Every structure is written in structure tokens, then in C-alpha cells.
């Protein structure tokens, strides 16, 4: 890490100390192991996610970060041959209990994927409201929902005069922020983001990061990222995943982002955040 980047970490110290204060947990993954068929891809993952914080999941490609984040709202189980052991607690209950409705879980624990996936022929307004319609949620204040969610996603001022235009007319960065607004419309408590900026230009990435920082004041954010500087900029906490050859991924180290990047306890963490591998 360069001197400038390290100093950037230090400037966040007071903010991170505040984040370290005791909070209720939004989610808690306990002893989570994951398989695809006979191949074990994650082993013994334990991560607690405090409410109204942002946690970054970092690590080389293939160490199970994206698989893990998909277990947090039961998307993993949609893959043929997928299996899981352990538990994921949300509101005090395991989301994999037999009496838990996965549709409800995916409403309260939303997901933003790597590539923007709005409905391109649907209007901007229609995209924002589509989650409400698909879920059957009854809300009458549609105009207020559209404005508030697009504002939260940092997009309102750019599109407020063309809400009836097709979403496909937007740039890639705008489409990703529209997808975030769509996810926010159903009022999730947790928002999962799987490399949401990897397909975007630097200017769009900056806007998404600003959106993440603002959203994490009210919504718990869990983000997979390969961009170490992005993890420093947006997250309060960081978990470092690693997988040895032919071995399942696991968490090497986790903690406050300032600690992980400036004073990690494990040499492998230090080597990774300094770009020596991965």
C-alpha cells in the first residue's frame, strides 16, 4: 500500500472507532461450509455483520467470496447440486429453517450483482417499482418511493426529468444505481453487493462508492470487492478469504478495515493487501 493510501486509512480512524462500538447484529454466519456436488468450496466461515455498517469481503479469485455472499439470502440453494452446513442468523433465526420463506428473505436481504441488470425496455420508474409489484407489496405512495429510492441511490437529479424513458438508455453506472434503487424500494435491511463496480468506469465507480457510504448509515451493506482501495474507502469491517490449491476457502482474518489494512495479524493478509499475490 502506498503512503497516500495508508494515510487515507488513517484519516478514517475516528469513523472506524465509532463503528467498533457495540451494535446489534444484522446477520451472523456461523460455522458455514458450502459444497457444489462433492466439491467443498467453503469451510467453517464465521462472520458477524453489525447493523448499519459496511463489510468488505476480499481475497483472490476462486476463494469463495461470491459463493459465501449468495448463501446470505439463499441464492446458493438455487444451484443444482449445491449444499450447505452451518447457519445464517437473521432476526435471531436461521434463514435456512424449514419454516422460513426464501422469498421473504430475499426481500429483506437484497442483492446487487456484478453487471447491472435492469429491465432495459421498462421505464426508469417502472424498474424502481418492479420489485414491489413482483413481491405483491401493497404501497400507494409510488411517486414518493421513486423519488426517495433514486435519491438514496444517487440518481434522482440525473433522471428526474425522464422517468418515463427506457432504462436501457442509461449509462452502465446509472443502470447499476437504478438497480440499487430497485432493491431499496422493497425496504431491505441488508444489501448484498457482488463486485458492483467491476464493470464500471472510474467516475461511475466513485458515485457507487458514495452511494454505498451513504446507504450504510441506514442499511447493512456486505460487498465483495477485488479493489483494495475500494474496500478501504467504503467499508467499516473487512474479512479476508483465502483458499489453498484443491482446498476449500476459509476466512484467514477479519476485523476493522483500518486494522486489516494497516496492522494485520496474519502475514498472508499483509501480503495480499500489499499486492504481493492475488
Residue 20 lies in a domain: yes
User: H helices of the chain, where?
Assistant: 3-11, 13-20, 65-71, 102-108, 124-135, 142-152, 156-159, 172-184, 202-215, 228-234, 257-262, 267-273
> Sheet containing 237-242: which strands, arranged edge to edge?
109-112, 190-194, 220-224, 54-58, 237-242, 250-256
Residues ≥6 apart with Cβ < 8 Å to 60: 242, 243, 272, 277, 278
CB half-sphere exposure, 78, CA atoms < 13 A: 10
Identify whether the C-beta of residue 214 lies closer than 8 Å to the C-beta of residue 244. Answer: no
C-alpha cell, 33: 461450509
Q: What is the pLDDT of residue 278?
A: 78
Distance CA 121, CA 138 (A): 24
CB half-sphere exposure, 11, CA atoms < 13 A: 9
Tell me the pTM: 0.88
CATH number at residue 104: 3.40.50.300
Residue 169 lies in a domain: no
Residue 205 lies in a domain: yes
The CA-atom distances, in angstroms, between 8 and each of 233, 234, 240, 274 are 8, 12, 20, 15
C-alpha cell, 254: 477479519
Residue 96 lies in a domain: yes
Distance CA 256, CA 1 (A): 17
Identify whether the C-beta of residue 266 lies closer than 8 Å to the C-beta of residue 252. Answer: yes
pLDDT tens over the chain, length 278 residues: 554 544 444 444 444 444 444 469 999 999 999 999 999 999 999 999 999 999 999 999 999 999 999 999 999 999 999 999 999 999 889 999 999 999 989 999 999 999 999 999 999 999 999 988 877 777 779 999 999 999 999 999 999 999 999 999 999 999 999 999 999 999 999 999 999 999 899 999 999 999 999 999 999 999 999 999 999 999 999 999 999 988 999 999 999 999 999 999 999 999 999 998 87
Distance CA 237, CA 222 (A): 9
Q: How many CB atoms lie within 10 A of CB 128?
A: 30
C-alpha cell, 170: 442509461
Residue 202 lies in a domain: yes
- Structurally, the chain folds into a number of domains equal to 1
Identify whether the C-beta of residue 189 lies closer than 8 Å to the C-beta of residue 195. Answer: no
* Cα end-to-end span (Å), the chain: 14
Residue ranges making up the domain that contains 260: 3-116+190-273
Residue 102 lies in a domain: yes
Residue 261 lies in a domain: yes
Residue 167 lies in a domain: no
Annotate 134-159 with three-state secondary structure.
HHCCCCCCHHHHHHHHHHHCCCHHHH
Residues ≥6 apart with Cβ < 8 Å to 112: 176, 179, 180, 183, 191, 192, 193, 194, 196
Amino acid at each position: 500500500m502506498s503512503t497516500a493510501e495508508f494515510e487515507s486509512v488513517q484519516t478514517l480512524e475516528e469513523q472506524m472507532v465509532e463503528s467498533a462500538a457495540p451494535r446489534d447484529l444484522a446477520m451472523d454466519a456461523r460455522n458455514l461450509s458450502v459444497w457444489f456436488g462433492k466439491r467443498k468450496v467453503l469451510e467453517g466461515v464465521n462472520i458477524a455483520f453489525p447493523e448499519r455498517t459496511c463489510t468488505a469481503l476480499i481475497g483472490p479469485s476462486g476463494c469463495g467470496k461470491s459463493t459465501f455472499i449468495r448463501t446470505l439470502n439463499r441464492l446458493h440453494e438455487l444451484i443444482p447440486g449445491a449444499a450447505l452446513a452451518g447457519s445464517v442468523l437473521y432476526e435471531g433465526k436461521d434463514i435456512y429453517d424449514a419454516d422460513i420463506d426464501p422469498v421473504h428473505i430475499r426481500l429483506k436481504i437484497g442483492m446487487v450483482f456484478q453487471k447491472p441488470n435492469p429491465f432495459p425496455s421498462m421505464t426508469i420508474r417502472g424498474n424502481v417499482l418492479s420489485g414491489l409489484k413482483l413481491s405483491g407489496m401493497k404501497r400507494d405512495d409510488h411517486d414518493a418511493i421513486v423519488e426517495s429510492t433514486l435519491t438514496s441511490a444517487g440518481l434522482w437529479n440525473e433522471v428526474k426529468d425522464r422517468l418515463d424513458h427506457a432504462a436501457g438508455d442509461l449509462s452502465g453506472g446509472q443502470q447499476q444505481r437504478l438497480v440499487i434503487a430497485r432493491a431499496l424500494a422493497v425496504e431491505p435491511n441488508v444489501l448484498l453487493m457482488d463486485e458492483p463496480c467491476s464493470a464500471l468506469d472510474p467516475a461511475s465507480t466513485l458515485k457507487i462508492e458514495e452511494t454505498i457510504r451513504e446507504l450504510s448509515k441506514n442499511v447493512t451493506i456486505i460487498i465483495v470487492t477485488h479493489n483494495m482501495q475500494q474496500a478501504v474507502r467504503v467499508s467499516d469491517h473487512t474479512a479476508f478469504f483465502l483458499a489453498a490449491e484443491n482446498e476449500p476457502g476459509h476466512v484467514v482474518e477479519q476485523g476493522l478495515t483500518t486494522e486489516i489494512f494497516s496492522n494485520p495479524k496474519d502475514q498472508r493478509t499483509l501480503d495480499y493487501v500489499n499486492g504481493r499475490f492475488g
